[in-house]
Each structure stands twice: as C-alpha cells, then as structure tokens.
Amino acid sequence: MPSCRLRFRDATADDAPVIAALQNAAAGALTARYGAGHWSSLVTERGAMLTQRHARVRLGRQQKRILTVLRLATKKPWAIDVSFFTPVPRPLYLTGLAVSVAHQGQGLGRLALEDARSVATAWPADAIRLDAYDAEAGAAEFYAKCGYRERGRVVYKGDPLVYFELLLP
C-alpha cells in the first residue's frame, strides 16, 4: 500500500523544469545503480515542454510536490512494433514513467499507472501499450505486477526491450 496519496493532473508548460529535474534524477539513480545505458539519457526543460505538444503528460503530486510523471500519446513510439500487440482501433502509448528517487518503492508508480488507466478509459482508448528495457535496470517485472501482459521481446537498435499491453474494457 502506498505510504502517501497522490493527486493527478495534466502538466502545463510551467511544470517543465520540475519534470526535467525529476526525470534526470531518476536517470541518474538508474545509472549509478546499473551503469550507463539508454536509461541514462537526460531531458532538457525545453524537451519536457515540447513533449506536451504531442502527448498528455500526467503528474502525480503530494500537496505541491510533483512525485511522478508519465506520458500518454496516440502516436506510436519508434521502438514499438505493433505486430506484437492485440489489434485494437485506439491504442495509447505510455512512455517516460518516472518516480521521485526519494519516493521509489512506495507504490507511487502503481498509482501513476492506475491514473493512466483512468485517463485512457475516458480518452477513450482500447489499450495501453509500452516497452521496458529487458535489462536489470528495466521495469518489466514492475509492469507485470501491475497487470500489464507481456506481448514480446525484441532488440531495437541494440536495446533489448519487452513489450507490454493492458487491454481496456
């Protein structure tokens, strides 16, 4: 059970500095623990702001402090091969889930995925699709525990990935 409750909202351009800082801290923590990898990529404030043009960015906050961030978009990310997924007319793609390093392991990522599911259902969407690194630094086990079904394993541009989906009612 999460140790704190979160409230969720859509990000605004004003949130870009905090989004970039949260994602960069999470990337730094993964790099420190597992070594350099694709997960080590940093985000600029400009990049965090531009993402909002093409995706719905959701923030989880406790009071005024942002603790989670993720993106939902209708556009397929470069590393996704749709042939691995259940054919549906309206899929959404979840990318960039990050949880404040100081708050990891407290169930906040799970809460962020529950919010994503609610948003996707209301969108309306038929499924949420994502990929996770097939590496020690990856979150495949986390997504499986959260009810996402593994759909395949691929190597894309040298990065081993695991595809997951959650079909929506």
- Is 1 inside any structural domain? no
In this model, does residue 21 exceed pLDDT 60?
yes
> In this model, does residue 107 exceed pLDDT 60?
yes
CATH number at residue 72: 3.40.630.30
Assess whether pLDDT exceeds 80 at residue 2. no
Residue 139 inside a domain? The answer is: yes
pLDDT in tens, 87-105: 999 999 999 999 999 999 9
The first and second tokens of residue 3, run together, are: 């140790």
In a domain? residue 142: yes
Whether 2 is in a domain gets the answer no
How many residues are given for the chain?
Answer: 169
Provide the domain count of the chain: 1
Q: 79 lies in a domain? A: yes
Q: Is there a domain that residue 87 lies in? A: yes
131 and 160 Cβ atoms separated by less than 8 Å:
no
Expressed as residue numbers, the domain containing 95 is 7-167
Q: What are the pLDDT digits (tens) for 113-159?
A: 999 999 999 999 999 999 999 998 889 999 999 999 999 999 999 99
Q: At what angle do helices 16-34 and 45-54 cross, to 10 degrees?
A: 110
